[in-house]
Structure 1
Amino acid sequence: MTQVIIATCVAAGVTLFTRLVPFLFFRNRPPSPGIAYLQRYIPPMTMVILVAYCLKDVEWHDIARAIPVVVGVVVTAALHFWKRNPLISIFTGTALYMILIRVM
């Protein structure tokens, strides 16, 4: 049991250290053009990949199964463009999708 606690503490310490180092060493320098590019484009690219992954197994020929997916995606996208808050849009779209698959 003590080995598990020690290993967990070491892993937590290493993770904390690797997360803090960039902020400590690079706080007074502007980001390089490459890092600025990644900061701008990685989040939207990640979301596109996640949406494609989520939609790949949808049975589009079965309307009863496709409607909750389409409604969930449309509501999530609309809320995100309206409120610009990922938490609100993702949680609301997910909750609506879960309600729709139980009701339909």
Structure 2
Amino acid sequence: MALYAILTLSMPNRASWNGGWSGERDKYVVSRTVKDEALNGRSFYYNFGDGWGANVHVDVVDGAKLKNAAVKGSKGFCGYDWMVDSIISHGKILNSDQIDKLKETSRMKD
């Protein structure tokens, strides 16, 4: 069976006028195929620098049936798919500037 990372988005830090997030009642879950369970049970936090912060929790499941059940009813990832890509590629949430610096550093070592 295939292994899938199930990634769930939440906004634990909200700098809005009322402390709420307009999407807090919605389900934001996506899946990606993974090779192993290294990300299972891990959470990743991203500080936007303006009082807002996002958390992405990862559970790894075995098989399409569990994956489909997990993402059913999801509204996607609220435009934060770049966080998912970063977690899968780098094992942490990096913004585009951080990824560019990482690539530059890697080129300098070559």
| Structure with more helix by fraction | 1
Higher relative contact order (CA 8 A, sep 6+): 2
Greater strand fraction, Structure 1 or Structure 2 = 2
Instruction: Report the TM-score range of the alignment, normalised by the length of the smaller protein.
Output: under 0.3
Tell me which structure has the larger Cα radius of gyration: 1
Task: Give TM-score, length-normalised by structure 1.
Answer: 0.27
